[in-house]
Amino acid sequence: MKPKYYVTTAIDYVNAAPHIGHALEKIAADIFARYYRLKGHDVFFLTGVDEHGSKVEKAAKAKGLEPQAFCDEMAAKFQDAWKQLNLSYNRFIRTTDEKHCSAVQELFQIMEKKGDIYKNTYKGLYCEGCEDFVRERDLDEDGNCPNHKQPPIMCLEENYFFKLTKYKDKLRKWLTDNPDVLIPDGRRKEVLNQLDDEEFGDFSVTRARSSLSWGIPVPNSPDQVIYVWIDALSNYLTGVGYGDNKEQFEKFWPADLHLIGKDITKFHAIYWPAMLMAADLPLPKRISVHGFLTVEGQKISKSLGNVIDPKQLVERFGADAVRFYLFAAAPFDKDGDFSHEDFLNKVNSELANNLGNLLNRTLTLVGRNCDGKVPDGQFENNLREESNEIHAVVEKHMRQCEFAKAIEAIFALVDQANKYMNDEKPWTLFKEGNAAQGKTVLYTVLDILRRTAIEIYPFTPALAQTIWYQLGFDDKLDELKAEGAWDLIPAGQAVRNEGPIFKRIEEVTA
């Protein structure tokens, strides 16, 4: 039986349209989905949107729409943007999906029956931006939430609470015994410190309907609405069939990877596993926390006017260029920057020059000297070893979500192939009558290009497919079988030299 792989993204609020910052995480999930499919896994890739909450309700009102009609409009925008970026998700979940709502209620009752959800009066400061209670000591000097630069409101409400304190020791043990479960390690240490905080306590899981009406009602308690954390986090269960498709759920749960932004680490590494413990469900195998994207060195914000619509970027430069740049430019776990100049430099030098020219000149030489067919040559031993080593390096980095390093390794091999070609000068070899060596050089470079197409496929799927096609293969990389993926390029296969696979981008303006 095929091994399974289940990858998820955080679900974005639909109160604003998707921007390039949202896209980063979704593309990362797609990279893994494609990477594991290629490795022969049965993959489930879940993404979606969070449609509940007061932010969404307010945004709908501002547009003069009913919340559901507004959500329908916005969800379509997200799906459209992800389609443009060539995301191969299996399901796009919306938290207003009927089956999600009923499963969330079911889960709530399971935890309540267990005694892990209870009613209490809450009095405290609450930030509407964070959608969470905040502590006095975390406010900035003006008394504002440091993330949202707005004052919290005093909140006094009767709510349902989740008994988080009951799971404190179990959470600590889980995070300590499994140092790989939350990466990068700095985030894990941060969460362990939060567990030891003196103010660590139970958290509220509902709001009064009077303060939040756009949400899932609490079963048997119509004056209460299930608050964001149980509702949103449960999408990872309901998205793969919890409460709906038992067979699929049991096959894919627990998640192999939750990809999340650094601002929601606490909720995913503390609240979420505790809820799963309460529901007697297995815990996710790994949570990977990524940094945020800035644009030209500045935080992405509407007021700064630097919100990049991924759709427009794709329309101008193509999905592959955007996908490649976002992961080549910066380490995933750190904050990265989207700079137009750097973007053009990177995609031109790596995709157009380094890789594109190598393919183009190799195919031209094959046309001129080998009747347009893969020559009957040997694979140069040194380079063969090197390419095997690089593959192992790529695998190691992928396990750690180190995309930039994986890309660097892939392009190091392309560099090697370019250097080998320049040193060996096959055009001279053929001219001087040393066709055997000339064929060896071309054969070696053709096979490195074949390997490169497979290695970069998760990052730049369409570009990889074009390379594959020009090398003479007819099958789809999407459907490539793991067993056959690393066979050598067959001699005698007719190549297709159809011109540059990636045209240099000349424009510089934003």
Please, what is the minimum distance in Å from the beta carbon of residue 339 to Zn ion?
28
Interface pick for Zn ion out of 40, 124, 129, 331 (rule CB under 5 A): 129
Strands of 1-129, DSSP E: 4-9, 12-13, 42-50, 91-94, 117-127
Please, what is the minimum distance in Å from the beta carbon of residue 266 to Zn ion?
13
Instruction: Looking at residues 454 to 483 of the shown chain, list those that interact with Zn ion (rule: CB under 5 A).
Output: none
Do the Cβ atoms of 157 and 121 come closer than 8 Å?
A: yes
Q: Using the minimum distance from each CB to Zn ion, give the nearer residue, 130 or 435.
A: 130
Q: Using the minimum distance from each CB to Zn ion, give the nearer residue, 134 or 259.
A: 134
Q: Using the minimum distance from each CB to Zn ion, give the nearer residue, 292 or 379.
A: 292
Among candidate residues 71, 127, 370, 401, the one labeled active-site is 127
The single residue listed with the structure tokens 């969800």 is 75
Q: Does the active-site annotation cover 397?
A: no
Please, what is the minimum distance in Å from the beta carbon of residue 148 to Zn ion?
4
Instruction: Looking at residues 137 to 166 of the shown chain, list those that interact with Zn ion (rule: CB under 5 A).
Output: 145, 147-148
H/E run at residue 25: helix 20-38
Q: Does the active-site annotation cover 145?
A: yes
Among candidate residues 4, 39, 99, 130, the one labeled active-site is 130
H/E run at residue 293: strand 293-295
Which three-class secondary structure string do you get for 194-261?
Answer: HHCCCCCCCEECEEECCCCCCCEEECCEEEEEECHHHHHHCHHHHCCCCCCCHHHHHHHCCCCEEEEE
Please, what is the minimum distance in Å from the beta carbon of residue 146 to Zn ion?
8
The structure tokens listed for 26 are 């979704």
Q: Does the active-site annotation cover 130?
A: yes
Among candidate residues 19, 55, 290, 397, the one labeled active-site is 19
- CB within 8 A of 426, min separation 6: which ones? 365, 369, 437, 438, 441, 442
Which residues in 302-313 are b (16+ Cβ under 10 Å) and which e? eeeebbbbbbeb
Instruction: For residue 432, report the phi and psi dihedrals to the nearest 5 degrees.
Output: -85, 5
The single residue listed with the structure tokens 């990049």 is 308
Q: Does the active-site annotation cover 299?
A: yes
d(CA 340, CA 215): 40
Interface pick for Zn ion out of 130, 300, 485, 505 (rule CB under 5 A): 130
Please, what is the minimum distance in Å from the beta carbon of residue 157 to Zn ion?
18
Q: How far is CA 117 from the centre of its chain?
A: 32
Among candidate residues 2, 299, 396, 503, the one labeled active-site is 299
Q: Using the minimum distance from each CB to Zn ion, give the nearer residue, 148 or 189.
A: 148
Interface pick for Zn ion out of 29, 127, 175, 287 (rule CB under 5 A): 127
Q: Does the active-site annotation cover 19?
A: yes
d(CA 63, CA 407): 43
Q: Does the active-site annotation cover 61?
A: no
Stretch that binds Zn ion, among 125-133, 269-277, 306-314, 475-483 (CB under 5 A): 125-133
Q: Using the minimum distance from each CB to Zn ion, give the nearer residue, 63 or 148.
A: 148
- Contact set with Zn ion (CB under 5 A): 127, 129-130, 145, 147-148
**Which of the residues are catalytic?**
19, 22, 127, 130, 145, 148, 299, 302
